Amino acid sequence: MLDDLNAVKSLDTRDLLGMTAHMPEHLIEGFQLGRSAAPDGLEIGRIAVCGLGGSAIGGDLLCAWLSGVSEIPCGVYRSYSIPNHIGRDSLVLAVSYSGNTEETLSMAKQALDRGSGMIAVSSGGQLKDIAAERDIPHCSLPSGLVPRSAIGYMLGCLTGVLDGAGIVKGRADIDDSADVLGRVLSDCGPEIGTDRNPAKRLAHELHGTVPVVIGHDASIPVARRWASQFNENAKMVAFSDELPEMNHNGIVGWISDTLSRGFSMIILEQDQRDSRMSKRIEATKAMVSERMQVFSSSAVGESPLGRMLSQVMVGDYVSLYSAFLRGVDPSTTEPIDELKRIMTNERI
């Protein structure tokens, strides 16, 4: 079925496959937009990314990348309020693709009231209005995308902001990442037949199971992205976890509970520079494979950012192909829309 492009296109009503294919261009364009919006010479003690859902995952990837290239701590916050330590020494990156996410707006207003520096990232909406009213920089993204498909723009913009502000140098990693994404596209794009397409083959292997995606080090936020893409695109229950933490709790359930036979585990392998992590991954595979199917997806690329994004794109394709195997439109998210209607009605 996955090689029948007409059947796939009939389900993919908003062309998420096409949006995924344009991730390399989105990344570079987003970087340029971020550099243009960045103020000069920021002196900051910490970075806080405020956002939810597909808008926040770019912050997770940014913080994972920053941990290896900068001494400035970075955190992602997904609520109505921010911790007390976010204040005048903080740079707050308020991120909402629509610009109308109520939790993000609440965090942004709180940060501004505390005197934090701020840069807003959106395609418009109330967040853009707040930026204009409070005279703070705004990175304006193109509108019309499904928010989770704007990951290239989001991460590119955040990286560009920090590069333009002199906090990090990100151009080389962005260029490497775009090249790597092009290679993933040539392997996993919809025109590539199932027999030669690792993303299509993995979608077939996972069909009928509950995926649990395991990351370690830089692939931890990528595992979260895989699980959320299964949730939204394929309308599947899916979970993420991380190593080595999982070996201190979760592995007991996976080995001991017979229900685990209905799951499949995908381990996202990064560049294991620590031999202890390599040994731990192999031991985990050996133990868990006695109970369920276990698969691996290895990162490619020269830069840390490129390796992370290579796995992001593979996961996006696997989730889309899983949606088509289930006969669902990957762009729809009715439960989210219904919850927003409920919340709106309760406020009236």
The residue extents of the domains of the chain are 38-169, 197-325
What Cα–Cα distance (Å) separates residue 186 from each residue in 21, 181, 233?
Answer: 10, 9, 21
pLDDT, tens only, 31-54: 999 999 998 777 899 999 999 999
H or E element at residue 65: helix 53-69
Residue from 81, 82, 89, 79 nearest 115 by CA: 89
Beta strands in the chain (DSSP E): 46-50, 74-77, 90-95, 117-122, 138-140, 210-216, 239-243, 263-269, 293-298
Rounded average pLDDT over 264-275 = 89
Structure-block tokens of residue 175: 């260029």
Three-state secondary-structure class, residue 339: helix
pLDDT for position 215: 97
How many whole angstroms separate alpha carbon 322 and alpha carbon 326? 6
Rounded average pLDDT over 297-302 = 93
Let me know the angle formed at the C-alpha of 177 by 172 and 180, rounded to the nearest 5 degrees. 130
Residue 312 · residue 299 · CB < 8 Å: no
**Nearby residues of 113 by Cβ (< 8 Å), 6 or more positions away:** none
**Catalytic-labelled residue, pool 204, 207, 285, 340:** 340
- Split at pLDDT 50, 70, 90, the class of 343 is confident
Q: Residue 284: pLDDT above 80?
A: yes
Please state the CATH superfamily assignment of the domain spanning residues 38-169 in this structure. Glucose-6-phosphate isomerase like protein; domain 1 (3.40.50.10490)
Let me know the angle formed at the C-alpha of 333 by 330 and 336, rounded to the nearest 5 degrees. 160
**CATH code of the region 197-325:** 3.40.50.10490
**Nearby residues of 222 by Cβ (< 8 Å), 6 or more positions away:** 61, 215, 268, 308, 311, 312, 315
pLDDT for position 347: 53
Main-chain dihedrals φ then ψ at residue 334, nearest 5 degrees? -55, -40
Let me know the angle formed at the C-alpha of 19 by 17 and 22, rounded to the nearest 5 degrees. 110
pLDDT for position 317: 98
Please name the residue that has the structure tokens 């498909």.
Answer: 149
Residue from 7, 27, 52 nearest 313 by CA: 27
Rounded average pLDDT over 276-290 = 95
Rounded average pLDDT over 77-87 = 97
pLDDT for position 274: 83
26 has catalytic annotation? no
Name the percent of the chain lying above pLDDT 70. Answer: 99
Name the percent of the chain lying above pLDDT 90. Answer: 92
Q: Residue 60: pLDDT above 90?
A: yes
Rounded average pLDDT over 74-86 = 97
Strand ranges of the sheet holding 239-243, from the earlier edge strand across to the other edge: 239-243, 210-216, 263-269, 293-298
Please name the residue that has the structure tokens 């840069």.
Answer: 119
Letter for the amino acid at 297?
A: S
pLDDT for position 272: 67
Average pLDDT over the chain, rounded to an integer: 95
Buried b (16+ CB within 10 A) or exposed e, 238-273: bbbbbbeebbeebbeebeeeeebeebbbbbbbbebe
How many whole angstroms separate alpha carbon 168 and alpha carbon 217? 20
Rounded average pLDDT over 291-318 = 96
- DSSP conformation class of 62: H
**Catalytic-labelled residue, pool 29, 103, 232, 242:** 232
Two domains, one topology: 38-169 and 197-325: yes
Three-state secondary-structure class, residue 330: coil
Preceding peptide of 244 cis, ω within 30°: yes
Rounded average pLDDT over 101-130 = 97
pLDDT for position 345: 79
pLDDT, tens only, 191-215: 999 999 999 999 999 999 999 999 9
- DSSP conformation class of 263: E
**Nearby residues of 177 by Cβ (< 8 Å), 6 or more positions away:** 24, 27, 301, 303, 305, 306, 309
Rounded average pLDDT over 50-61 = 96
Let me know the angle formed at the C-alpha of 2 by 318 and 292, rounded to the nearest 5 degrees. 45
Radius of gyration of the chain (CA): 20
pLDDT for position 348: 42
pLDDT, tens only, 215-253: 999 999 999 999 999 999 999 999 999 999 999 999 999
pLDDT for position 43: 81
Q: Residue 120: pLDDT above 50?
A: yes
